[in-house]
């Protein structure tokens, strides 16, 4: 459903958010903005809420709009840093300077300014950035997202909720039945309860499971919200099929998603339609889906019967002996739908799917061309023994037009999600064993004490310039677990 942007809509959404941001309420959608004449222009501000948290502001309200574009459209964002010169919160690297910028996570666009540049585009308080992001005409349709990415300060900004959904239209060309279904965009974020006076109430509200599931034996510090609400109600009639698009927008927590009593009919992961690389098997079914921080799921779901469990939950995730607690909890309650929702936007149904049939067997069997090794100590986090520095040169160079076998090794005692900007990769082996039904992703969990083998897709001629890859536990990225890659 495409909703025209207006100040009135934003105010209505904000009022609803205030209601659902307490302990209960219906799911609330962010305002949606769409391109006009192939261009979407928007002004975002970075500012402080009355509660002292970092936030995006749109039309004067603390909310992040959902951005909707078609392949070939242009996104123009004026991003104004209205954060105070003296930060109100601490950050991973001192001194904090309240710098900020934007990353368009998963988009296959240029890493050079004024597009997805997280290295040189940086706004201090009182400064502005002007982004012009050209969406390629052959860009895969799907769910992406945007969030801040200032090195050293990204964790606290994303933890505070500085993120939003970004949709590239046209996915119904890959799975036509989506066009007739109601659509939901679900943004899951972590909310800190470490110093919250109502922490006990919030834990009870989400039925937070206190038992140890593999992480450090310490009290959980975060709960999940969905579209800014704690355990909202999602309306779906028993037996009704809906199209859900969900992003794990948390700064440092894993989601193992399960709709109790139902399966997910997976259409896409990390914005990449399954059909793009496997036209014979356009969907896959799963009882639950693991999403690392930054992971996305697009799936058809079926409303459970009135007699079955009716909860959307995140299962317990074992993050390792040195990992943070990631217990099970309830994300939302499923309730009968009183009235039909609008169907998914079908304007992109005339797009021609960009299907790719690839034979990567030779590259998979060849020795890794590059190995990424995650290590850490009590003070910092490293890739291949190096701590990230803004003035460092590229750790690796990638020839545009090639596929490359990379091995990611996790030499630590905690789970790490590896993300690379600009490109997707095929994750095909874990701990040197083939993965059944491998998927194309842009973020992958690397098991503690283990490894993942991937085939990087460096074939897009649009992607040239300096970019980065890093652990998407943003506290780890802030403390050094990031490196540069030069696409040439």
> What's the pLDDT tens digit per position in 390-439?
999 999 999 999 999 999 999 999 999 999 999 999 999 999 999 999 99
Q: Taking residues 198-226, what's their average pLDDT?
A: 84
Of all residues in the chain, the percent with pLDDT exceeding 90 is 80
Q: Which of 28-32, 309-313, 336-340, 377-381 has the lowest mean pLDDT?
A: 336-340
- Rounded Cα gap, residues 225 and 232, in angstroms: 8
Given a contact cutoff of 8 angstroms between Cβ atoms, the answer to whether 424 and 270 are in contact is yes
Q: Given a cut of 50, is residue 240 above it in pLDDT?
A: yes
Position 344 scores a pLDDT of 58
Q: Given a cut of 90, is residue 215 above it in pLDDT?
A: no
Position 338 scores a pLDDT of 63
What's the full length of the chain, in residues? 488
Element (H, E) at 20: helix 7-20
Residue 339: is it exposed, middle or buried by C-beta count within 10 angstroms (0-12/13-18/19+)? exposed
Omega of the bond leading into 114 within 30 degrees of 0 (cis): yes
Q: Which of 16-20, 37-41, 57-61 has the lowest mean pLDDT?
A: 16-20
- Rounded Cα gap, residues 107 and 133, in angstroms: 10
Q: Taking residues 250-257, what's their average pLDDT?
A: 97
Q: Given a cut of 60, is residue 307 above it in pLDDT?
A: yes
Rg of the Cα trace of the chain? 21
Give the residue, 7 or 300, on which the prediction is more confident. 300
Q: Given a cut of 60, is residue 12 above it in pLDDT?
A: no
Given a contact cutoff of 8 angstroms between Cβ atoms, the answer to whether 482 and 388 are in contact is yes
pLDDT per position as a tens digit, 131-173: 999 999 999 999 999 999 999 999 999 999 999 999 999 999 9
Q: Given a cut of 60, is residue 18 above it in pLDDT?
A: no
Using alpha carbons only, what angle is made at residue 255 by residues 251 and 261, rounded to the nearest 5 degrees? 155
Given a contact cutoff of 8 angstroms between Cβ atoms, the answer to whether 399 and 362 are in contact is no
Position 207 scores a pLDDT of 93
Q: Which of 217-226, 288-297, 471-480 has the lowest mean pLDDT?
A: 217-226
Position 401 scores a pLDDT of 96
Q: Given a cut of 70, is residue 381 above it in pLDDT?
A: yes
**Nearest residue to 44 (alpha-carbon basis) of 136, 151, 141, 123:** 123
276-282-286-291 Cα dihedral, nearest 10 degrees: 20
Q: Taking residues 225-249, what's their average pLDDT?
A: 96
Position 212 scores a pLDDT of 66
Given a contact cutoff of 8 angstroms between Cβ atoms, the answer to whether 177 and 296 are in contact is no
- Rounded Cα gap, residues 248 and 232, in angstroms: 16
Longest dimension (CA), the chain: 60
Q: Taking residues 274-286, what's their average pLDDT?
A: 92
Element (H, E) at 404: strand 402-410
SS3 of 348-390: HHHCCCCCCCCCCHHHHHCCCCEEEEEEECCCCEEECCECCCC
Give the residue, 139 or 309, on which the prediction is more confident. 139
3-state DSSP assignment of residue 244: strand
How many other C-beta atoms are found inside a 10 Å radius of the C-beta of residue 62?
A: 20
Banded pLDDT at 258 (limits 50, 70, 90): very high
Position 279 scores a pLDDT of 86
pTM value > 0.75: yes
Q: Given a cut of 50, is residue 38 above it in pLDDT?
A: yes
pLDDT per position as a tens digit, 177-186: 999 899 999 9
3-state DSSP assignment of residue 17: helix
pLDDT per position as a tens digit, 90-131: 888 888 999 999 999 999 999 999 999 999 999 999 999 999
Given a contact cutoff of 8 angstroms between Cβ atoms, the answer to whether 372 and 481 are in contact is no
Banded pLDDT at 347 (limits 50, 70, 90): low
Position 6 scores a pLDDT of 36
Average pLDDT of the chain to the nearest whole number: 91
């Amino acid at each position: 459903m495409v909703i025209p942007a207006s100040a009135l809509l934003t105010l209505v959404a904000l009022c609803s958010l205030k209601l659902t941001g307490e302990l209960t309420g219906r799911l609330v959608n962010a305002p949606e903005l769409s391109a006009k004449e192939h261009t979407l222009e928007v002004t975002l501000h970075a500012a402080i809420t009355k509660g002292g948290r970092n936030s995006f502001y749109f039309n004067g309200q603390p909310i992040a709009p959902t951005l909707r574009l078609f392949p070939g459209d242009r996104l123009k964002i004026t991003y104004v840093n209205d954060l105070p010169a003296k930060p109100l919160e601490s950050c991973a690297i001192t001194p904090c300077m309240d710098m900020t910028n934007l990353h368009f996570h998963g988009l296959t666009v240029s890493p050079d300014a004024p597009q997805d540049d997280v290295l040189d585009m940086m706004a201090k308080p009182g400064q502005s950035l002007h982004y012009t992001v050209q969406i390629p005409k052959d860009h895969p349709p799907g769910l992406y997202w945007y969030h801040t990415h200032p090195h050293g300060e990204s964790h606290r900004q994303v933890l505070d909720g500085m993120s939003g959904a970004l949709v590239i239209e046209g996915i119904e060309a890959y799975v036509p039945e989506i066009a007739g279904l109601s659509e939901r965009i679900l943004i899951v974020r972590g909310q800190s309860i470490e110093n919250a006076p109502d922490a006990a109430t919030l834990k009870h509200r989400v039925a937070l499971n206190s038992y140890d599931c593999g992480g450090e034996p310490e009290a959980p510090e975060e709960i999940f919200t969905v579209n800014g609400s704690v355990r909202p109600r999602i309306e779906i009639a028993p037996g009704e099929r809906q199209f859900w698009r969900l992003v794990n927008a948390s700064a440092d927590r894993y989601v193992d998603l399960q709709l109790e009593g139902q399966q997910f009919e997976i259409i896409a992961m990390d914005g990449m339609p399954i059909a793009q690389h496997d036209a014979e098997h356009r969907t896959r079914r799963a009882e639950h889906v693991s999403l690392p921080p930054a992971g996305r799921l697009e799936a058809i779901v079926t409303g459970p019967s009135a007699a079955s469990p009716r909860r959307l939950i995140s299962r317990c995730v074992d993050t390792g002996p040195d990992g943070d607690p990631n217990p099970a909890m309830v994300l939302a309650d499923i309730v009968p739908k009183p009235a039909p929702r609008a169907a998914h936007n079908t304007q992109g149904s005339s797009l021609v799917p960009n299907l790719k049939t690839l034979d990567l067997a030779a590259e998979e069997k060849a020795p890794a061309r590059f190995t990424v090794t995650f290590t850490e100590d009590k003070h910092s986090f490293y890739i291949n023994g190096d701590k990230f520095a803004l003035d460092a040169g590229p750790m690796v160079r990638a020839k545009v037009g090639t596929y490359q076998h990379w091995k990611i090794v996790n030499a630590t005692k905690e789970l790490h999600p590896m993300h690379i900007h600009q490109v997707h990769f095929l994750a095909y082996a874990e701990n040197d064993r083939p993965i059944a039904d491998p998927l194309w992703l842009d973020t992958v969990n690397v098991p503690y004490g283990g490894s993942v083998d991937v085939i990087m897709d460096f074939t897009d001629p649009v992607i040239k310039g300096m970019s980065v890859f890093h652990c998407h536990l943003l506290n780890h990225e802030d403390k050094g677990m990031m490196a540069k890659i030069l696409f040439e």
